[in-house]
Chain A
Amino acid sequence: NAGVTQTPKFQVLKTGQSMTLQCAQDMNHNSMYWYRQDPGMGLRLIYYSASEGTTDKGEVPNGYNVSRLNKREFSLRLESAAPSQTSVYFCASSEELYWGYVTEAFFGQGTRLTVV
């Protein structure tokens, strides 16, 4: 059972380049999330998607865009990468027991992104 799969695992970008981080889950979850983890900062929510076709900003959305392609896939795009976006990015998904009440989130293994 794959759970949450992220690609790529590692990426180095030059300042100004663009890229898309891919995420797919096979648990039939409605809710999906993108977090970033920085040293000493914990995990911070970038964007989330409560269901297919909807996306909302989290705590740190600037410089990112997302697409909820279908129920399984949620991608994160950096249009013009900056060194401040050097981080580890985690995708997650969670089950919604009833409207607005989500249980624990399941995380992918992360993408380590370096912007030089």
Chain B
Amino acid sequence: DQQVKQNSPSLSVQEGRISILNCDYTNSMFDYFLWYKKYPAEGPTFLISISSIKDKNEDGRFTVFLNKSAKHLSLHIVPSQPGDSAVYFCAASVSGGGADGLTFGKGTHLIIQP
């Protein structure tokens, strides 16, 4: 059963507007969450993360929100730019559980339209 879910396979947003990508998780042990961005024919690159002790983390145009009670996180991109067109993966991990990697969602393909 999928522990990290990204229910929107694709999202189309107009340039300059806000992009909101959503992610849900089922494992209550997850306490560290990350967003990765992936362009075609490249490896994923780290974008932003948030620890479960916080509910918001900002980095420039990118903000991640965490709602622990709902087991939901979202990535906001404001304003959206053409270079933001990519596949975005939500990932989660359990700290203190050993270096057993990240659990990824299936990804959301963000398309920024001019």
Contacts and interface: CB of A to CB of B under 8 A. Distances in A.
Are A and B associated in one complex?
A: yes
A90 interface: yes
Nearest to B100: A48
A58 interface: yes
Contacts of A40: 9, 106
Nearest to A41: B106
Contacts of B114: none
Q: Select the residue from B45, B49, B98 with max chain A CB neighbours within 10 A.
A: B98
A58 B42 contact: no
Contacts, number: 73
Interface of B is mostly: loop
A51 B107 CA distance: 29
Q: How large is the interface on A (under 10, 10 to 19, 20 to 34, 35 or more residues)?
A: 20 to 34
B106 A107 contact: no
Interface string B46-74: 10010000000000000000000000000
Nearest to A108: B43
Nearest to A33: B101
Contacts of B103: 45
Interface of B: 4, 6, 9, 32, 34, 36, 41-46, 49, 89, 93, 95-107
